[in-house]
C-alpha cells in the first residue's frame, strides 16, 4: 500500500524551509503550536509523512530532474525533446549558476533536510510515546536526511551542514562544510538508522525505509569515498538479511501493480489521481501525438533513449538485440507496446513522437487520465550487486566481482563473462551493465561515471556530438569529481557560500 497520504504543511514544519521553496528563507517558528503538536506517536508519524513528502517534488526523487535531466541526458544516452534553455545548458555541459534545474534541486534537498531535522529533534525530545516507535521514526528521518545530503554532496561538493531545525533567530549566513564533513554526517545517520529500522514492514507500512535501504545507501556512500572494504562489509551485512532478490522478469520491477517488490530497497511512493500524490512520469514518457486511448490525458515524450544507446545493446549473429531489458522496456519503429499490444510504433516514427524513433516504457504501462501512480525507484538490488562487484574488483577479488555481474547478465538473457578478465575489463563490464540496466533511473549515468573519473572518456567514445561540446573551453569539467555550481539564488540569500572552482555567481 501507499504510505503517503495528502500532505499538508502543518505548523510544526513552519520552521526551516518546510513550506517554502526558498533555500534558508524562514518563517518565524510558532514554538507554542509546535510544542503542542509533538505530544504523541501519531503526531510524530504525521510529521514524518511531511518529510517523506519532500521526495515527491519533481526536483527531488521522482526520476525527472535527477534521472532524466541530469543523470542520463548529461551522459548523452537520453534526449530531451522540448529543448528548453535550462535543459540545453545541462546537456551541453555549460552548467551556469543561474540554471533553474540545479537551483531547484538544491532547494528541494534543503526542504527535505529541514523537514527531517524537525522530526529528529522534536521526536527525540518527546517525553511520552513508545520508545521503539520513536526510534523507528527518527531512523527513517535520518535516512531521508542522509539521502538529501547524498544528493547535495555528489552534485555540489561541500555544502552548509544543517542538522538542527532553524528558526527566525538562527544565524542564516552559513558557510559550506567540506565534502568530507558532509560524508561523515551521511555515514553517521545511516549507521544509526540501520540499527533501529526493521528488515521488513508489513501491511500499510510497506514502502517505508528499512534497515536494508540504509545499508544500501551506506554502500553507495562508501563507494563514492573509495572505501571499498566498507562497501563489501555493509553489503554482506545486507545479504544476511535475505530480504532482497533480483526479480526474474525485468519489466515486473517497475510495474505499478507490483510496487515495493523484493528488488526495490527504496522508491518514492505515488498514488494515481489529480492531487499532489501522483507524478508526471507517464506524461513525460508517452509519445506526443499518439492516440489518447493508449496515452491517457497527456503525452509529452519529453525524454527518449538515444540511437547510440540502443546500438550499444549486445546482438546475436543476425544483428538482433539479445538483451531482454531492451525488449521489456523499449519500443522502436514497428514494435508493439509490452502491455498494450494494440499500440505499435509506426515504421516511420513522427519527429514529434521521438527524435530517435524510440520510446521507453518502464513507466508508461497504461493510459493515465490523471497523474500517474507508478513509483519512482531510488535504490534497487541490481545496483547493490553492481556496487558490490565494483568494490570487490578494486580489492582484487575479480572472480567474485564477475559472479555478481553475471547475475545481472543472466536475467538479461546474456552469456556469462569468463573468469579471465583483467581488473580494467571487469570495471568496464560493471559500467556496461550500469548503462544498460538503469537508464532513466537515478543511478548508472552521469554520477557513477563522474565519481569513477570515467565521464569524459565515456562521452568522447559514446556521444556523437562530442566535438560540439567544446570540452577544452569548459575547465569545470576537468575537476575530479566534476561538481555543479552553487546556485546564484542560494548565494543571494546566504553570502557565506563560496563558489566552486571555475564558476561565477
Structural domain harbouring 237: 11-268
- Mean pLDDT, range 83-110, rounded to an integer: 97
Are residues 49 and 125 located together in one domain of the fold?
Answer: yes
User: 468 in a domain, yes or no?
Assistant: no
Alpha-carbon gap, residue 314 to 188, rounded angstroms: 41
Contact present, 437 and 444 (Cβ < 8 Å): yes
User: 489 in a domain, yes or no?
Assistant: no
Q: What percent of the chain has pLDDT over 90?
A: 90
Its pTM stands at 0.94
Q: What is the 3-state secondary structure (H, E, C) of 349-409?
A: CCCCCCCCCCEECCCCCCCECCEECCCEEEEEHHHHHHHHHHHHHHCCCHHHHHHHHHHHH
pLDDT at 14 over 80: no
Q: Which residue has the cell 524562514?
A: 26
Q: Give the count of beta carbons closer than 10 Å to the beta carbon of residue 430.
A: 26
pLDDT at 304 over 50: yes
Are residues 356 and 216 located together in one domain of the fold?
Answer: no
The predicted structure's pLDDT at residue 275: 77
The CATH number of residue 177's host domain is: 1.25.40.390
Are residues 75 and 190 located together in one domain of the fold?
Answer: yes
At residue 501's C-alpha, the angle toward residues 456 and 99, to 5°, is 75
The predicted structure's pLDDT at residue 37: 82
Range in 31-45, 90-104, 320-334, 411-425 with the lowest mean pLDDT: 31-45
Phi, psi of 27 (to 5 degrees): -100, 150
Are residues 122 and 210 located together in one domain of the fold?
Answer: yes
Are residues 209 and 353 located together in one domain of the fold?
Answer: no
Instruction: Write down which residue in 342, 363, 384 finishes a domain.
Output: 363
Instruction: Write down which residue in 268, 296, 328 finishes a domain.
Output: 268
> pLDDT per residue over 70-83, tens digit each?
999 999 999 999 88
pLDDT at 267 over 90: yes
The predicted structure's pLDDT at residue 35: 59
Are residues 185 and 305 located together in one domain of the fold?
Answer: no
Alpha-carbon gap, residue 166 to 435, rounded angstroms: 40
Are residues 157 and 236 located together in one domain of the fold?
Answer: yes
The predicted structure's pLDDT at residue 20: 34
Q: What percent of the chain has pLDDT over 70?
A: 93
Chain-centre distance for alpha carbon 444:
10
User: 69 in a domain, yes or no?
Assistant: yes
pLDDT at 122 over 50: yes
Query: Is the Cα torsion angle 17, 21, 25, 31 positive or negative in sign?
Result: negative
pLDDT at 13 over 90: no
Are residues 145 and 61 located together in one domain of the fold?
Answer: yes
Alpha-carbon gap, residue 436 to 443, rounded angstroms: 11
**Pseudo-torsion of CA 83, 84, 90, 96, nearest 10°?**
140
At residue 443's C-alpha, the angle toward residues 441 and 445, to 5°, is 95
Nearest-CA neighbor of 491 among 27, 111, 175, 164?
175
Contact present, 187 and 137 (Cβ < 8 Å): no
Are residues 182 and 302 located together in one domain of the fold?
Answer: no
> pLDDT per residue over 400-411, tens digit each?
999 999 999 999
- 3 state DSSP class of 305: strand
Question: What average pLDDT does the structure give for the chain?
Answer: 93
Number of domains in the chain: 2
- Mean pLDDT, range 351-379, rounded to an integer: 96
pLDDT at 7 over 80: no
The predicted structure's pLDDT at residue 125: 95
pLDDT at 11 over 60: no
- For residue 266, the surrounding DSSP H or E stretch is strand 264-268
User: 198 in a domain, yes or no?
Assistant: yes
Residue 69 — pLDDT band, cuts 50, 70, 90? very high
Instruction: Write down which residue in 347, 363, 379 finishes a domain.
Output: 363
Cα-only R_g, the chain: 22
Residue 34 — pLDDT band, cuts 50, 70, 90? low
Alpha-carbon gap, residue 382 to 363, rounded angstroms: 18
pLDDT at 152 over 90: yes
Are residues 202 and 350 located together in one domain of the fold?
Answer: no
> pLDDT per residue over 432-486, tens digit each?
999 999 999 999 999 999 999 999 999 999 999 999 999 999 999 999 999 999 9
User: 501 in a domain, yes or no?
Assistant: no
User: 214 in a domain, yes or no?
Assistant: yes
User: 368 in a domain, yes or no?
Assistant: no
Are residues 92 and 201 located together in one domain of the fold?
Answer: yes
- Mean pLDDT, range 195-210, rounded to an integer: 97
User: 413 in a domain, yes or no?
Assistant: no
Are residues 264 and 285 located together in one domain of the fold?
Answer: no
The predicted structure's pLDDT at residue 6: 38
Amino acid at each position: 500500500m501507499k504510505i503517503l497520504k495528502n500532505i499538508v504543511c502543518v505548523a510544526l514544519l513552519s520552521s526551516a524551509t518546510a513550506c517554502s521553496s526558498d533555500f534558508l528563507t524562514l518563517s518565524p517558528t510558532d514554538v507554542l503550536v509546535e510544542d503542542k503538536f509533538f505530544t504523541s506517536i501519531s503526531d510524530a508519524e504525521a510529521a514524518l509523512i511531511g518529510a517523506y513528502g519532500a521526495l515527491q517534488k519533481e526536483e527531488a526523487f521522482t526520476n525527472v530532474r535527477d534521472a532524466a535531466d541530469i543523470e542520463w541526458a548529461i551522459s548523452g544516452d537520453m534526449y530531451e525533446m522540448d529543448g528548453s534553455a535550462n535543459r540545453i545548458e545541462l546537456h551541453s555541459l555549460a552548467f551556469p549558476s543561474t540554471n533553474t534545474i540545479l537551483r531547484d534541486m538544491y532547494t528541494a534537498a534543503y526542504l527535505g533536510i529541514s523537514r527531517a531535522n524537525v522530526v529528529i529533534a522534536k521526536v527525540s525530545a518527546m517525553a511520552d510515546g513508545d520508545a521503539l516507535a520513536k526510534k523507528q521514526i527518527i531512523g527513517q528521518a535520518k535516512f531521508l536526511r542522509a539521502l538529501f545530503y547524498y544528493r547535495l554532496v555528489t552534485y555540489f561538493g561541500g555544502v552548509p551542514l544543517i542538522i538542527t531545525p532553524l528558526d527566525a533567530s538562527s544565524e542564516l549566513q552559513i558557510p559550506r562544510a567540506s565534502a568530507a564533513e558532509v560524508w561523515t554526517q551521511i555515514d553517521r545517520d545511516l549507521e544509526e538508522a540501520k540499527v533501529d529500522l526493521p528488515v521488513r514492514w508489513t501491511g500499510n507500512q510497506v514502502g517505508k525505509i528499512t534497515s536494508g535501504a540504509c545499508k544500501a545507501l551506506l554502500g553507495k556512500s562508501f563507494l563514492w569515498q573509495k572505501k571499498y572494504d566498507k562497501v563489501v562489509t555493509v553489503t554482506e551485512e545486507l545479504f544476511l538479511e535475505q530480504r532482497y532478490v533480483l526479480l526474474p522478469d525485468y519489466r515486473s520491477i517497475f510495474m505499478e501493480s507490483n510496487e515495493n517488490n523484493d528488488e526495490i530497497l527504496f522508491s518514492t511512493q505515488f498514488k494515481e489521481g489529480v492531487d499532489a500524490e501522483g507524478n508526471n512520469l507517464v506524461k513525460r514518457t508517452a509519445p506526443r501525438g499518439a492516440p489518447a486511448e493508449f496515452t491517457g490525458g497527456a503525452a509529452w515524450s519529453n525524454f527518449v533513449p538515444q540511437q547510440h544507446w540502443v546500438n550499444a545493446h549486445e546482438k546475436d549473429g543476425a544483428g538482433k538485440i539479445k538483451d531482454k531489458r531492451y525488449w521489456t522496456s523499449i519500443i522502436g519503429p514497428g514494435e508493439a507496446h509490452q502491455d498494450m499490444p494494440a499500440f505499435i510504433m509506426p515504421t516511420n516514427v513522427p519527429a514529434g513522437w521521438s527524435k530517435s524513433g524510440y520510446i521507453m516504457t518502464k513507466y508508461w504501462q497504461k493510459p493515465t487520465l490523471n497523474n500517474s501512480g507508478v513509483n519512482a525507484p531510488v535504490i534497487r538490488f541490481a545496483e547493490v550487486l553492481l556496487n558490490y562487484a565494483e568494490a570487490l574488483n578494486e580489492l582484487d577479488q575479480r572472480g567474485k566481482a564477475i559472479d555478481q555481474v553475471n547475475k545481472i547478465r543472466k536475467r538479461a538473457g546474456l552469456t556469462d563473462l569468463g573468469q579471465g578478465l583483467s581488473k580494467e575489463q571487469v570495471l568496464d563490464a560493471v559500467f556496461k551493465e550500469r548503462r544498460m540496466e538503469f537508464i532513466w533511473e537515478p543511478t548508472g549515468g552521469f554520477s557513477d561515471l563522474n565519481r569513477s573519473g570515467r565521464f569524459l572518456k565515456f562521452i568522447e567514445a559514446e556521444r556523437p556530438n562530442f566535438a560540439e561540446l567544446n570540452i577544452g573551453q569548459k575547465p569545470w569539467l576537468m575537476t575530479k569529481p566534476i561538481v555543479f555550481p552553487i546556485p546564484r539564488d542560494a548565494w543571494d540569500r546566504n553570502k557565506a557560500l563560496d563558489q566552486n572552482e571555475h564558476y561565477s555567481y
